[in-house]
Structure 1
Amino acid sequence: MHTVTVIVPAHNEEEGLPATLESLARQTVLPERVLVVDDASTDRTGEVAASHGVTVLRPPHNLGSKAKAQNFALPHCTTDLVLAVDADTVLAPDYIETVLPAFDDPGVTVAAGAVRTRHTRTIWERGRSTEYLFGFHWHRPIQALANSPMVCSGCCSAFRRDDLVAFGGFPERTIVEDMDYTWSQQIAGRQARYVSGAEALAADPEDLRYLRKQVWRWMAGFCQNVRLHFGQLVVHKPLLAVWVLLAVLEILTAPLWWATPFLVAATTDQPPAAAVAWWAGAELLLTLPPLIYAAHRRKLPLSGVLLNLPCVYATKAVNLVYAWKALVVELMLVPLHLARGLTVYEKGRADTRPSGPAVATAG
C-alpha cells in the first residue's frame, strides 16, 4: 500500500490555503502527513496552516521559487510518494485514491490528474477554463496513449520519493519545475502518467496583470526546457520530441492562422464576411468536439462551456504574445548571451506583498 506526504509551498496564501487544506482533510485516502512551507509570508499563512493541524515549516528567508520551497520540505518526507499541491488548488475528494494505482507500475515515477479552474468570474478565468477543458480532453489523452505526456501539472503531481531524491529534488534550473522533471524522467527511461479520473481545481489569474506574469513564466519555462532537453528528447523520447516540435510550430504559425480571413479577403474576390465565416466555422469544427466531450466527461452544463468559448480568444492572444517573446528571448538571445532569460519566479495571482519575487503557488 502506497503512503503519501503532501507538500504545500505557500507564500502569502492565507486566503486560498484553507480550501486547499480542507480538501486534503476530505480525501478518501488520507495522506500520512501534510507539510506546509510558509516561505517568508507577511500575512497569516503560517497561522492558518497551523490551525488546520498540519506541519508548518519555515525557511529562514524567502527561498524565491516554488521548487526551492518544495525542496526545503523534501527531507521531511519519509513516505514512498510525495504529492505536491499548490496552496490555491483544491483536490477532488478521491484525488489521492485515484492517482495511487498509477504507481503500482514500478516504471511510473510521476503522475497527475486533470486540472480545471476553480472560478469563472472574469474573462481571463473563463478563457483559461476553456483552455483546460480542451487541453486535458484532447492533447493530454493523445499524449497519454503514446506514453509521452508533455507535463504532469505542478499544482497536483505525485512523485515516487526515491526517484525524486535520486534526481536531486525538484529541479531549480528552469522556471517550471514540473515540465523539467517530466521531461528529464522520460529521457531517463521512466514513465510519467496522466490520470484522467483525478481532478484538481486551480485558482487561475483573475486579471490581465497576473495572467501576463503566469503566461510569461509558463512560456519562458517551456522554451528553457526546449533549450535544455530537446536534443536528448530526439534520441531517448522521440514521440515527446514530436509533441514539443508541434507546440513550437503552433506558436510559429498561429499569427498566420489568425490572419487567414483577412488575407483571403485581401487576395481573393471573397467578401470579408464570408472569409471570416469560413474561418470561424473551421475554428468551431476543430474546437467544439473536445469541449462537448469534456462537458460530458466532467458533468458540466454544456451551455456554460459554450458561453465561455469566446473568452478563450482573449487568453490565446496573451499566450501568443508571450510565446513569441519566449522564443526570441529563451531560444535566440540567451544562447547568444544577449539576455539572461527569466530567472525571477513571480506569482500568477495577486500577492499581498508590496513588491519583489515570491514563491508562486498558482499553476
Structure 2
Amino acid sequence: MSLPEFFLLAFSASWLVVTLVLLSGWTRMPVFRPAKRKPSLPLTVIIPVRNEEEGLPDLLADLDRQTYRHFEVIVADDQSTDRTPDLVRAFAAHATYPLTLLRLTDDPGTSPKKRAISQAIRRAAHDWIVTTDGDCRVGEHWLETLAGYQEQTGAALVAGPVTFLDRGTPADRLQIVEFASLVGTAMVSLFLGNPNMCNGANFSYSRKVFEAVNGFAGNENLASGDDEFLLHKIAAQFPVAFVKSREALVKTGAHASLWSFYQQRRRWASKWKHYNDWKIPALAIYVFCVHAALLLGIAGWVYGSVPGAVLLASLGLKWLGEWAFIGSVLAFFGQRKSIPWIGAVQVLYPFYVCFFGLAAQGSGYSWKGRKLR
C-alpha cells in the first residue's frame, strides 16, 4: 500500500470513528421532559432585524401564540429601509405581550448584530435573554420549553436546535441535510463537554453572565460570532447546556439563492481563525484535511494512481457513520423527507468543505445589503 493510499484510508477511518462517537452521544443525550410544575422564569426575547418585512410578522404572530406568558419582546431594528419598523409598531398595538421597537444607535467598530443585541440587552426588563432572527418560526411551546429547561438544569446558557423550513425543493432538502449535520454535531459536542458551535437563532443566557464575561468584547468587530464566541466565553466559567427537544426547535428559511448561501457560509467559516482555543482551529483543519484527502483520492483514481477498491473503501468508511448520525438527527427534527438526500450531500460535501475552507481566508462579506469584514 502506498503512502497516499494509507493516508486516504486513515482519514476516512478516523472520520468513521468521529461520526460513531457523535451517533453514540446523540443516542445517549436525553430528550428534555418538562416538569409538571410550570416554569416562572421571566424572559426578554431579542430579535435583531434589518429589512425583515416579509418574515417578521409571522414570527411576532408565533410569539402571540406562546403557551408561556412571562416574556417581553424587543425588536432591535438596524436602519431598515423597508416597512419593518411600521409593521412592528402596528403589531404592538394589539400584541398580547409587551413589544418594543428599538431603533439602534451607531456604534463604530461593532458588527451590526452584536450592536443590536448589546443595545437591546441594556433595555431588557428581565435577566434571562433569548435571541432569535426575524425570519424564523417557532412553535407554541418554544419559550415554555426554554424556561423550563433552564430552571431544571440551572445552566447559565442554553442553546437550542435550529432547522430549515421545508418547501419541498431540492435546494431546501440539501440545505436541511447539511445544516442538520452542523446542528447535531453542536448538540452532541456540548453534551460531551466540548462545546464548539451553536446558532443565534435559538440562543438564551443570563444577562448577568453576559456582563460577567464582558459581552462581545474581544470580537465585537467581526461580522459573525454573536453566538459561538459568546458560547465559548461563558462555557469557560459557567455551566452551559443544549436542550434536546422538538418543542424547542426553531425553523428558519433556507437560502433562496447560491449567492446568499455563499455569503453566509463564508462568513461562518471565517470565524475559525479568530478563536483563542487551539482545539477549534485544529478541528477545522482536521475536517478540511479529511475532505481534501478524499478529493485527492478521487483525482488519483481518475489518473490511475489510486486503486478503485481503495477509493470505494474510503468512501464507505466515511459515509457509513455519516448516514446513521445525520439520519437520526433529521428524524428527530421531523425532517424525514430529507433523509434520502443525505447521499447527495455526501457526494457534494468534500467540494463544499474545501471550497469554503479556502474562501474563508479572504476578507469582506455581504450581509443585508452591507459590506462587512
Interval containing the TM-score (normalised by the shorter chain): 0.7 to 0.9
User: Which sits farther off after the overlay, 285-294 or 76-85?
Assistant: 285-294
Partner of 2:325: 290
Residues 1:71 and 2:118 aligned together: yes
What SS does structure 1 have at the residue aligned with 2:104?
A: coil
The separation in 1 between residues aligned to 2:263 and 2:74, in whole angstroms, is: 27
Letter in 2 for 1:128: Q
User: Which of these residues, 40, 48, 57, is aligned with residue 9 of structure 1?
Assistant: 48
Indicate the RMSD between aligned Cα atoms, in angstroms.
2.9
Q: 1:71 to 1:160 in 2, by over 3 A?
A: same
Contact 2:319 2:346 in 1 (8 A): no
| Number of equivalenced pairs | 321
Partner of 1:338: none
The separation in 1 between residues aligned to 2:261 and 2:45, in whole angstroms, is: 27
Contact 1:153 1:178 in 2 (8 A): yes
How far residue 106 of structure 1 moved from its aligned partner, in angstroms, is 7.6
Partner of 1:195: 243
Letter in 2 for 1:87: G
User: Which of these residues, 1, 14, 21, is aligned with residue 60 of structure 2?
Assistant: 21
Partner of 1:151: 197
Contact 1:95 1:199 in 2 (8 A): yes
User: Which sits farther off after the overlay, 204-213 or 290-299?
Assistant: 290-299
Identity %: 20
Residues 1:250 and 2:264 aligned together: no
Give unmatched runs, 5+ long, in structure 1: 232-240, 330-340, 359-363
Contact 1:9 1:70 in 2 (8 A): yes
How far residue 160 of structure 1 moved from its aligned partner, in angstroms, is 0.6
Residues 1:261 and 2:298 aligned together: yes
How far residue 313 of structure 1 moved from its aligned partner, in angstroms, is 4.6
Contact 2:79 2:104 in 1 (8 A): yes
User: 1:189-247: per-residue Cα shift (whole Å, max 9, x none)?
Assistant: 212211111211122322111111101110112322x2xx125xxxxxxxxx3x65233
User: Which of these residues, 228, 242, 264, is aligned with residue 179 of structure 1?
Assistant: 228
Residues 1:167 and 2:213 aligned together: yes
1:198-277 → structure 2 map (5 Å cutoff): 198-224=248-274, 226=275, 229-230=276-277, 241=279, 245-264=282-301, 266-267=303-304, 270=307, 272=308, 277=312
Give unmatched runs, 5+ long, in structure 2: 1-39, 93-98
Letter in 2 for 1:217: R
Partner of 2:370: 356
Q: Could you state the TM-score of these two structures normalised by the residue count of structure 1?
A: 0.78
Contact 2:165 2:252 in 1 (8 A): yes
1:300-315 → structure 2 map (5 Å cutoff): 300-301=335-336, 303-307=337-341, 309-311=343-345, 313-314=347-348
What SS does structure 2 have at the residue aligned with 1:196?
A: coil
